[in-house]
Chain A
Amino acid sequence: DADVTQTPRNRITKTGKRIMLECSQTKGHDRMYWYRQDPGLGLRLIYYSFDVKDINKGEISDGYSVSRQAQAKFSLSLESAIPNQTALYFCATRGPLSDTQYFGPGTRLTVL
Chain B
Amino acid sequence: GQNIDQPTEMTATEGAIVQINCTYQTSGFNGLFWYQQHAGEAPTFLSYNVLDGLEEKGRFSSFLSRSKGYSYLLLKELQMKDSASYLCAVRDRNDYKLSFGAGTTVTVRA
Enumerate chain B residues within 8 angstroms of A64, measured Cβ to Cβ.
none
Asked whether, in the complex, the Cβ of A104 is within 8 Å of the Cβ of B42, the reply is: yes
Whole-angstrom distance between the alpha carbons of A42 and B31 in the complex? 18
Residues of A82-112 at the interface with B, using a CB-CB cut-off of 8 Å, are 90, 99-106
Contact status B101-A42, CB under 8 Å:
yes
Q: Are A42's CB and B48's CB within 8 A?
A: no
Known A99-B48, A106-B41; judge A42-B102 contact (CB<8 A).
Answer: yes
- Which residues of chain A are near B103, meaning CB under 8 Å? 42
Q: B45: which of A43, A44, A100, A105 is its contact (CB, 8 Å)?
A: A100
The answer to whether B87 has its CB under 8 Å from any CB of chain A is yes
Interface residues on chain B, size class: 20 to 34
Q: In the complex, are the beta carbons of A42 and B44 less than 8 A apart?
A: no
Between A and B, how many residue pairs show CB distances below 8 Å? 41
List of A residues within 8 angstroms of B42 by Cβ? 90, 103-106
| Docked-complex contact A43 and B48, CB < 8 angstroms | no
Residues of B within 8 A of A45 (CB): 97-99
| B100 interfacial contact with A, CB 8 Å | yes
Asked if B43 is an interface residue, CB under 8 A from chain A, the answer is yes
The yes or no answer to A74 lying at the interface (CB within 8 A) is: no
Interface residues of B in 42-84 (CB under 8 A from A): 42-45, 48, 50
| Interfacial chain B residues near A104, Cβ < 8 Å | 42
Give me the interface of A with B, judged by CB distance under 8 Å.
Answer: 40-45, 48, 56, 58, 90, 99-106
Interface residues of B (CB under 8 A from A): 8, 31, 33, 40-45, 48, 50, 87, 89, 95, 97-103
21 examples of A-B residue contacts, CB within 8 angstroms: A41-B102, A42-B87, A42-B101, A42-B102, A43-B87, A43-B89, A43-B100, A44-B100, A56-B95, A99-B31, A99-B33, A99-B48, A100-B33, A100-B45, A100-B48, A103-B42, A103-B44, A104-B42, A106-B40, A106-B41, A106-B42
